């Protein structure tokens, strides 16, 4: 490892980087703020949802449609794209934006979450640094098979073709640079939800080590226009969250991600996120990884989160669930239910989306029951538009001083 | 059965019917013609493809997208819609057009083809009028289980919920009237491909009987704006085709469908279609049911077909096959092949569709290999646009006198 201080090394990059974050308004009632996040592919107003485009596509939609849902930014998945099709193909196509015809800002995550939490990691000693190679019997399936965790990364067997793949901070940054998103993330370790404090504390050391390696790996590449976010871990332990937040924000990252598990319930979640954010500098953008039930959105925005990615609106859509406004609350409608076959109303009579303008519940319910693919698209479109509208309302609330 | 002559009874309907067919240009080189077919939901230029919307949706697309593929008319499926969701739901939604937000003309087939050819019919005596009830063991699956064929229709077990369903000409017309398409079809029997001449000849008598019952069932309903087409059968036997064409065109139908099997190869197909058409009046629109490989299109148009429905462009799309122009021929590209991951060209560099404008082969190939639903849509859109463009070229050829 290079001994040049990271803080000094990192500065040189800002020269090449079209990235900035400006806070336009701070709430007097909470830590919520209105901001503008600028990237090489344009700017967005925060707080905002970052819909998930795991395999370089918002599942069931085209990129033009994702724009029509008022989506400002997408997050693609380093782990999935590395395995299939491989970043070299995406680079040969001109990078992620050109590949998927997405003109707006993009993030890629680091792949850490997928390696640790999608795989058999939890059952095979993730977080314990294994000295020898612990071979896990490989079965067919779509889960990565963890083979070994070391100080420099993780060896696992690809769920796509069975080959051994090594992914660590250096590899993750290289892949993310090749993919070409506007915002990339440091490689982190995600401890499993049931991990005890000793486990999480040990895991945190690895995450912090990997944060530094990620920064150095990125600093070595001068020609990038990408911003890099560090990731705060620490599980459900507020003191570990604060420790992690202090350490990560002391490094020359462009923004801060907050990852991992946040306790048993919504209240605990807000407390843990607040603990982490209390140690973060005011002027840096904050991204919350993988959180965003409709009922979570106001609390996380009040806690001071600027951006957050979540599969919920798209995932639920593919299972037939529409999110709609029901008075002041968000209500879920299961379109698989036959009662909707007689219902001539749009999904949400107050929704301004093109699906609600064109189709009624009776038709969408029929399409779900008939297992028609078009059903998945119509709900995906509506749900993303709904979430984006909900967050636009919250932004208005912050501007007016009521949130 | 009512004894009023059908020809006389049918006339009254024209009063209520917004339907007409005008031939604008006849080829000097073949039986091809340019026409305008007028319906209650607007008119279309013929010859034209009728894409398939089996369950009231062009699989994977929205109705707005189907319009953007230059599709002029769709055909939905009486058999499928009767079983799921049931015509009463579609009527309560305001009819097929409103239900699926499709403003242009629509056809429904009669359901005969599905009852006879999707089911186990071939193996259980279809075409032989069974005296007793021949129970077929019911297994789980999506195929109708044929129970009994009689002079008035067919009893089968629904593949959706196992209940016994009876479908004959009266029932088919009633369902089609409830669905509300602009053009409906008489209920016919489709003999299996391997049927011998004695079998087809006997089957033809049933089809002709059902054609008359279909017309009477429709005539009894005065308030309809629907046109009804009779169906010519007769399998691969030219004399039976001619006999059927003479009989069907002697009845007061608004147009003529040509259904069933057309022999072993393309040449035989053209001969059989020509034999049927040689006995049809010049001024009636002719619809060919379920035919339309790209290489078939010129021959069937030259034989004098005005409209034809085909699942091919949409079905192949969902299996990864794009149709593109390759010189003067139509070429098929299998987007599942990894060689396309490096290919930056659009599906068809000469294609004016929105998919070819926005996405390259590398991306579409990735989406297929990653099993992303968006892939199915992109190819479905392109293939329909491609077929519609191909037929527009043929129409230009007829106008110029080169076809």
**Closest residue of chain B to A366, computed from CA coordinates:** B85
Q: Residue B223: its pLDDT value, please?
A: 57
* Peptide bond just before B85 cis, omega within 30 deg: yes
Instruction: Give the side-chain half-sphere CA count within 13 A for A74.
Output: 31
Would you call B372 and A92 a contact, using CB atoms and an 8 Å cutoff? Answer: no
Are A149 and A126 contacting, i.e. CB atoms less than 8 angstroms apart?
A: yes
First to last CA, chain A: 46
Q: What is the distance between the alpha carbons of residues A130 and A336, in angstroms, rounded to a whole number? A: 47
Side-chain half-sphere exposure of B218, counting CA atoms within 13 A:
38
Domain chopping of chain B, boundaries: 25-310, 330-386
Q: Is the peptide bond before A85 cis (omega within 30 degrees of 0)?
A: yes
Gap from A94 CA to chain B (nearest CA, Å):
9
Task: Please name the residue of chain A whose CA is at the shortest distance from the CA of residue B65.
Answer: A374
Determine the Cα–Cα distance for residues A14 and A218; give it in Å rounded to an integer. 12
Residue B68: how many other CB atoms lie within 10 Å: 15
Residue B327 confidence (pLDDT): 82
Contact: B101, A59; criterion CB under 8 Å: no
- Among chain B residues, CA nearest to A96: B363
- Do the chains contact at A358 and B92, CB–CB below 8 Å? no
- Evaluated on CA atoms B292, B297, B301, B306, the torsion sign reads positive
Among chain A residues, the shortest Cα distance to B368 is held by: A85
- In whole angstroms, give the CA distance from residue A40 to residue A19: 7
Distance CA A390, CA A295 (A): 11
- Mean pLDDT, chain A, rounded, equals 89
* Residue B12 scores a pLDDT above 80: no
Q: Is A309 a catalytic residue?
A: yes
- Interface contact flag, A377 B378, Cβ < 8 Å: no
CB atoms within 10 A of CB B352: 10
pLDDT in tens, A207-252: 999 999 999 999 776 556 899 999 999 999 999 999 999 999 999 9
Query: Does A370 contact B55 at a Cβ distance shorter than 8 Å?
Result: yes
**DSSP-based three-state secondary structure for B256:** strand
Overall residue count recorded for chain A in this entry = 403
In the numeric block, which tokens belong to residue A360? 């009624």
Q: Which residue has the higher pLDDT, A18 or B135?
A: A18
Query: Are residues A364 and A379 in contact, defined by beta-carbon separation less than 8 angstroms?
Result: yes
How many Å apart are CA A272 and CA A304, to the nearest integer?
A: 12
Residues 6+ apart with CB under 8 A from B345: B360, B361
**Alpha-carbon distances of A320 from A57, A334, B56, B89, rounded to whole Å:** 20, 6, 18, 19
pLDDT recorded at residue A141? 46
Nearest to A379 by CA among A342, A328, A340, A327: A340
Q: What is the DSSP string of B202-238?
A: HHHHHHHHHHHHHHHHHHT-TT---EEEEEE--TT-H
Residue A116 to residue A120: CA distance in whole angstroms: 8
Element (DSSP H or E) covering residue A222: none
Strand, helix or coil at A231?
Answer: strand
Cα B236 from Cα B193, distance rounded (Å): 9
How much of chain B exceeds pLDDT 70, in percent?
A: 87
Q: Which residue of A has its CA nearest to B98?
A: A359
- Cβ atoms of B287 and B113 closer than 8 Å: no
Cβ B398 vs Cβ B27: under 8 Å:
yes
CA nearest neighbour of B356 among B389, B395, B327, B328:
B389
pLDDT at A121: 45
Nearest CB to B370 within list A62, A84, A92:
A84
Residue with tokens 């230059």: B70
Of A99, A101, A362, Cβ closest to residue B99: A362
Strands A106-108 and A183-185, how do they pair? parallel
Q: What element of type H or E holds B38? A: strand B33-39
What is the C-alpha separation between A252 and A230, in angstroms, rounded? 9
The position carrying tokens 């008075």 is A327
Q: Which of A341, A364, A367, A380 to mutate to test the interface with B (most CBs of B within 10 A)?
A: A341
Q: Are B200 and B191 in contact (CB under 8 A)?
A: yes
Using an 8 Å CB-CB cutoff, list residues of chain B that contact chain A: 55-64, 80, 84-85, 89, 92-94, 99-101, 341-342, 344, 354, 358-360, 362-363, 365-367, 369-370, 372-374, 376-378
- Amino acid A4: pLDDT: 47
Cα(B333)–Cα(B379) distance, integer angstroms:
11
CB A90 within 8 A of CB A123: no
The secondary element (H helix, E strand) that includes residue B380 is: helix B373-400
* CB of B13 closer than 8 Å to CB of B219: yes
- Backbone dihedral angles phi then psi of residue A152, each to the nearest 5 degrees: -105, -5
Residues of A in Cβ contact (< 8 Å) with B372:
55, 57, 59
Tens of pLDDT, residue by residue over A253-292, are 999 999 998 988 888 999 999 999 999 999 999 999 998 8
Cα A266 from Cα A300, distance rounded (Å): 10
Pick the more confident residue, A285 or A141: A285
A339: nearest CA partner in chain B = B89
Asked whether the beta carbons of residue B362 and residue A89 sit closer than 8 angstroms, the reply is yes
ipTM score of complex = 0.90
Closest-CA distance of chain A to residue B5, Å: 41
Residue B179 pLDDT > 80: yes
Cβ atoms of residues A320 and A361 within 8 Å = no
- pLDDT at residue A120 is higher than 50: no
CATH superfamily assigned to domain B25-310:
Queuine tRNA-ribosyltransferase-like (3.20.20.105)
C-alpha span between A373 and B57 (Å, rounded): 10
Q: Count Cβ neighbours within 10 Å for each residue of B1-27 and write b for 16 or more, e otherwise.
A: eeeeebeebbeebeeebebebeeeeeb
B55 contacts A362? CB cut-off 8 A: no
CA–chain centroid gap for B235, Å, is 17
Residue B78 pLDDT > 90, yes or no?
Answer: yes
- Euclidean distance between CA atoms A269 and A292, whole angstroms: 12
- Say if CB B294 and CB B387 are below 8 A apart: yes
Burial class (CB within 10 angstroms; exposed 0-12, middle 13-18, buried 19+) of A84: middle
What are the CA-CA distances from residue B253 to residues A65, B183, B227, B301 (Å)? 44, 11, 8, 21
Q: Are B56 and A366 in contact (CB under 8 A)?
A: yes
What average pLDDT does this structure show over A302-330? 95
Of the CA atoms within 13 Å of residue B357, those in its CB half-sphere come to: 7
Name chain B contacts of A93, Cβ cutoff 8 Å: 344, 360, 362-363
Residue B107, token pair as written in the block:
């056809």
Residue A296 designated active-site: no
Cα A52 from Cα B37, distance rounded (Å): 46
User: CA of B397, closest CA in chain A: separation in Å?
Assistant: 35
Of A363, A369, A373, the CB nearest to B60: A373
Chain A interface, Cβ < 8 Å to B = 55-64, 80, 84-85, 89, 92-94, 99-101, 341-342, 344, 354, 358-360, 362-363, 365-367, 369-370, 372-374, 376-378
Mean pLDDT of all residues in A363-374: 97
The active-site residue out of B109, B188, B254, B296 is B109
Placement of tokens 């930056």 in the chain? B344
Is residue A224 within 8 A of residue A177, CB to CB? The reply is: yes
Residue range A4-17, pLDDT digits in tens = 445 444 444 444 56
B84, B74 Cβ separation under 8 angstroms: no
Q: Answer yes or no: is pLDDT of A125 > 90.
A: no
Angle A115-A119-A125 (CA atoms, 0-180°, nearest 5)?
90
Chosen for mutation from B58, B368, B374 (greatest number of chain A CBs closer than 10 Å) is B374
- Between CA A159 and CA B93 the distance in angstroms is 46
| Burial zone of B239 (CB within 10 Å; 0-12 exposed, 13-18 middle, 19+ buried) | exposed
pLDDT tens digits, residue range A149-188? Answer: 889 999 888 888 888 999 999 999 999 999 999 999 999 9
Contact A197, A154 (CB under 8 A): no
pLDDT single digits (tens) B66-76: 999 999 999 99
Task: Give the mean model confidence (pLDDT) for residues B334-350.
Answer: 96
Q: Is a pLDDT exceeding 50 seen at residue A128?
A: no
Q: How confident is the model at residue B222 (pLDDT cuts 50, 70, 90)?
A: low
**pLDDT digits over B257-314, tens only?**
999 989 888 889 999 999 999 999 999 999 999 988 899 999 999 999 999 999 999 9
Q: If you average pLDDT over each of A128-137, A138-147, B211-220, which comes out highest?
A: B211-220
Residues B232, B233, B238, B244, CA torsion sign: negative
Picking from B57, B358, B364 by the largest number of A CB atoms within 10 A of its own CB, the best residue to mutate is B57
- Rounded to the nearest angstrom, the minimum Cα separation between B248 and chain A is 35
- The answer to whether A57 contacts B84, with C-beta atoms less than 8 Å apart, is no
pLDDT attached to residue B140? 38
Q: Determine the pLDDT at residue A144.
A: 67
Tens digit of pLDDT for each residue in A333-366? 999 999 999 999 999 999 999 999 999 999 999 9
Determine the pLDDT at residue B292: 85
Contacts of B52 in chain A (CB under 8 A): none
Interface contact B374-A341, CB threshold 8 A? no
Helix and strand numbers (H, E) in chain B are: 15, 16
Facing residue for B59 by CB, picked from A89, A363, A372 = A372
Is residue A53 within 8 Å of A109, Cβ to Cβ?
no
Q: Is the pLDDT of residue B126 over 50?
A: no
Of A63, A64, A341, the CB nearest to B85: A341
Query: Which residues have CB under 8 Å from B4's CB, separation 6+?
Result: none
A360/B93 Cβ within 8 A: yes
**Which of A296, A306, A309, A348 is labelled catalytic?**
A309
Return the residue in A372, A379, A384 with the most chain B beta carbons within 10 A, the one to mutate for interface testing: A372
**DSSP 3-state helix, strand, coil percentages of chain B (rounded to 5)?**
40, 20, 40
Partners of A167 in beta bridges: A154
Nearest by CB to residue A57, choosing from B60, B362, B367, is: B367
pLDDT confidence tier of residue B131, bands split at 50, 70 and 90? very low
- Asked whether the beta carbons of residue B366 and residue A341 sit closer than 8 angstroms, the reply is no
A8-310: CATH superfamily: Queuine tRNA-ribosyltransferase-like (3.20.20.105)
Taking each helix axis from N to C end, the angle separating B266-278 and B294-302, rounded to the nearest 10 degrees, works out to 30
Chain A residue numbers touching B366 (CB-CB < 8 A):
55-56, 84-85, 89, 99
Condensed to tens digits (0 to 9), the pLDDT of residues A71-103 reads 999 999 999 999 999 999 999 999 999 999 999
- Decide if A358 and B93 are in contact by the 8 Å CB cutoff: no
């Amino acid at each position: 490892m290079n001994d040049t201080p990271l803080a000094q090394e990192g500065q040189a990059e800002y020269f090449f980087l079209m990235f900035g974050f400006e806070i336009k308004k701070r709430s007097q009632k909470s830590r919520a703020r209105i901001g503008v996040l600028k990237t090489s592919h344009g700017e967005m107003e925060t707080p905002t949802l970052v819909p998930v485009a795991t395999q370089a596509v918002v599942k069931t939609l085209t990129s033009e449609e994702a724009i029509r849902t008022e989506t400002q930014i997408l997050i693609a998945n380093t782990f999935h794209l590395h395995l299939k099709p491989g970043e070299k193909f995406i680079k040969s196509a001109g990078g992620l934006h050109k590949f998927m015809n997405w003109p707006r800002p993009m993030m890629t995550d680091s792949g850490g979450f997928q390696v640790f939490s999608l795989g058999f990691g939890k059952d095979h000693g993730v977080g314990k640094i294994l000295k020898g190679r612990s071979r896990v019997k490989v079965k067919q399936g779509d889960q990565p098979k963890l083979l070994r965790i070391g100080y420099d990364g993780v060896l696992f067997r690809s769920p796509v073709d069975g080959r051994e793949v090594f992914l660590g901070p250096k590899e993750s940054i290289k892949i993310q640079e090749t993919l070409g998103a506007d915002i990339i993330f440091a490689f982190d370790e995600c401890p499993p939800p049931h991990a005890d404090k000793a486990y999480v504390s040990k895991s945190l050391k690895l995450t912090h080590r990997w944060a530094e390696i990620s920064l150095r790996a990125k600093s070595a590449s001068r020609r990038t226009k990408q911003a890099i976010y560090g990731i705060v871990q620490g599980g459900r332990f507020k003191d570990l969250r604060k420790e992690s937040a202090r350490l990560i924000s002391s490094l020359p990252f462009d923004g801060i991600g907050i990852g991992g598990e946040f306790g048993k319930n919504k209240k605990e979640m807000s407390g843990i996120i607040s603990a982490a954010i209390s140690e973060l500098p005011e002027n840096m953008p904050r991204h919350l990884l993988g959180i965003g039930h409709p009922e979570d959105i106001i609390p996380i925005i009040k806690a001071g989160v600027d951006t957050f990615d979540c599969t919920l609106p798209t995932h639920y859509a593919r299972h037939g669930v529409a999110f709609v406004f029901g008075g002041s609350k968000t209500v879920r409608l299961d379109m698989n239910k036959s009662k909707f076959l007689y219902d001539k109303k749009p999904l949400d009579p107050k929704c301004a989306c093109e699906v609600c303008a064109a189709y009624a519940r009776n038709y969408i319910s029929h399409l779900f029951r008939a297992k028609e693919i078009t059903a998945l698209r119509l709900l995906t479109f509506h749900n993303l538009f709904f979430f984006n509208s909900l967050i636009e309302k919250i932004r208005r609330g912050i501007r007016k001083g009521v949130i």
